[in-house]
Structure 1
Amino acid sequence: MNARTLFTLFVLLLLTLFAWLNWGEITKPTSLSLGLTRVEAPLGLVLVVALALLSLLYLIFTVGLETAALLEIRRYARELLHYKKLAEEAEQSRYTELRRFLEAELKRLEEVEKEEIRALEARVEETLERHGNTLAAYIGELEDQLLRLLGQGGDKG
């Protein structure tokens, strides 16, 4: 219980104790005016009953307010849960979309990489062939020069 409820209960307990201690005076009849007529009734008892009725009305009003507040809180909690689900679904959808985009981008990059590797292999083969041809030409020249040198040396001997 909170402090306000405890304080209210304490005050009601004090009023009840006061009424119990002074019950004889509360129930003593007296002449009361109702505006158009006069009646004999105990003034204290009339006031205690009025206080009890007002307290009961206040209690009913307070319970009604608390119930309405709890129902509203419950409705807000349901709405919040619904919006949380929607947000999670949207986030999951974004993750799925991002995953698809990244997979497509990776595939595209793989294709680009394969093309670049093919182009590089073709250039390497072309360069190797060109250097091979150049090397073969140099070897051919060296053989010719060796044969000439050997042919010249064989003519002298």
Structure 2
Amino acid sequence: MRSTILLLIALAIGGLAALNWETLAASSQVSVGLMTFDAPLGLLMLGLTTLLAVFFVAYVLSLQGSVLMEARRHTKEMQVQRELADKAEASRFTELRSYLEVQHVQAQVALMARIDSLEASLAARAEQSDNSTAAYVGQLEHQLRGRSDRSVL
């Protein structure tokens, strides 16, 4: 929108200059402070307006260039920050994985220790049960022999 307005203004200035060329080119007394000379005042003013426009465009282009360079630098910094964040996140995942692996190993060791103690307890109970059964069988045998010895007499 602004570019269109500026273009229309430049075209209006060019059109007025073309339509009024004789008036712009008419010589007149021009004073520059210390001296006075004959020159076309309209052409001097048109030249100064053109020079001002050239400097304005150069300023706008340099400003836009510096903004683009700043945006590029900012984009690079953001990319570096993003990479750092990704590395930190990957580091956290690695740390979490190692922590979980340690916890898994500890839980596995604790579980195996518990299973070993339960196996030992079960083996001890089985042995006690075997001993009790053997003692009962021995006692029954002894009682049966004692009865059979009494019946023989």
| Superposition TM-score, scaled by structure 2 size | 0.86
- Rounded to whole Å, the distance in 2 between the matches of 1:139 and 1:4 is 113
- Rounded to whole Å, the distance in 2 between the matches of 1:146 and 1:20 is 145
In structure 2, stretches of 5+ residues that fail to align are: none
In structure 1, stretches of 5+ residues that fail to align are: none
2:78 maps to amino acid: L
In structure 2, relative to structure 1, the CA distance for the partners of 1:4 and 1:149 (3 Å cut) is: farther
Pick the aligned partner of 1:6 from 4, 11, 27: 4
1:129 maps to amino acid: E
Displaced runs of 4 or more, over 6 A: none
Pick the aligned partner of 1:80 from 69, 78, 81: 78
- 1:79-109 C-alpha deviation (Å, 9 max, x unpaired): 2222222222222222222222222221122
- Rounded to whole Å, the distance in 2 between the matches of 1:11 and 1:149 is 138
1:17 equivalent to 2:15? Answer yes
CA drift of 1:56 comes to: 0.5
Match in the other structure for 1:35: 33
- Rounded to whole Å, the distance in 2 between the matches of 1:57 and 1:37 is 27
- Rounded to whole Å, the distance in 1 between the matches of 2:96 and 2:34 is 85
Give the stretch that moved more between structures: 130-139 or 21-30: 130-139
Match in the other structure for 2:117: 119
1:58 equivalent to 2:56? Answer yes
CA drift of 1:146 comes to: 4.2
Alignment RMSD (CA, Å):
2.1
- 1:91-145 C-alpha deviation (Å, 9 max, x unpaired): 2222222222222221122111111110010001111111222222233333444
- 1:25-74 C-alpha deviation (Å, 9 max, x unpaired): 11122222222332222221111111101000101111111111111111
- Rounded to whole Å, the distance in 1 between the matches of 2:127 and 2:9 is 109
Q: How many residues are matched?
A: 153
